[in-house]
Structure 1
Amino acid sequence: MAGASAEGEVNHWPAFVDVLTTVIMVVTFLLVIMSAAVMVLSQRTLQTVKAQLEAKEHKTADPSAATSASAKDQNSRPTTIRSRPKRAARMQSLARCCEPISRSTAARR
């Protein structure tokens, strides 16, 4: 019998170690897959944020579009004048912070 000693006792340790090793390998594999998925999703989110930021910059660059957009914004939701520059500054700092990551990913493609 496999795993039996000369006295007839069954040693369960080899099977236990095999199962434990398999579980650890599966968990490690799943962590690698999940971390890759998180990285891909964060890159997509970053690209979306950058696109939105650029769209807002283009809207503010065009005075006629900015006037109509500001009228729509005033009717839809009231915001203070101070909050918009702060939000834009936060988005720009986020884009600057993560810019080297997106450049390295673009170089791989």
Structure 2
Amino acid sequence: MEIIEFLRARVIDEKDRARYASEAHPTDSSWWAFTEPLTQGHYQATRRAFRHIDKHSPRQVIAECAAKTRIINVIEKQGQQLDPINACLVRCLAAPYQDHPDYREEWAPGM
């Protein structure tokens, strides 16, 4: 598996998980809700946590997957031999998936 194939497969995985989550809990972007009263001390931390969760809602993840797919498509048009900038970009896009069993160490971005 080459890096572009690897990236495309990971993006599809992310999109599928987000779609499943969206279908399992269909709502607008504010898909979370407070289910129990909060004490004043826990309010700020809980509010920050819920903002983080909302930022990574299924709708947001699907939008990010669409953007990644567009980037991959543009880079893929370049052909097998990537220029240094696109090679670095592809490696950076793959870096978050370094724990995946198909990830290769040679794909690590050189900084």
Alignment TM-score, normalising by the size of structure 1: 0.37
Normalised by the length of structure 2, the TM-score is 0.37
Which one has the largest radius of gyration? 1
* Greater helix share, structure number: 1
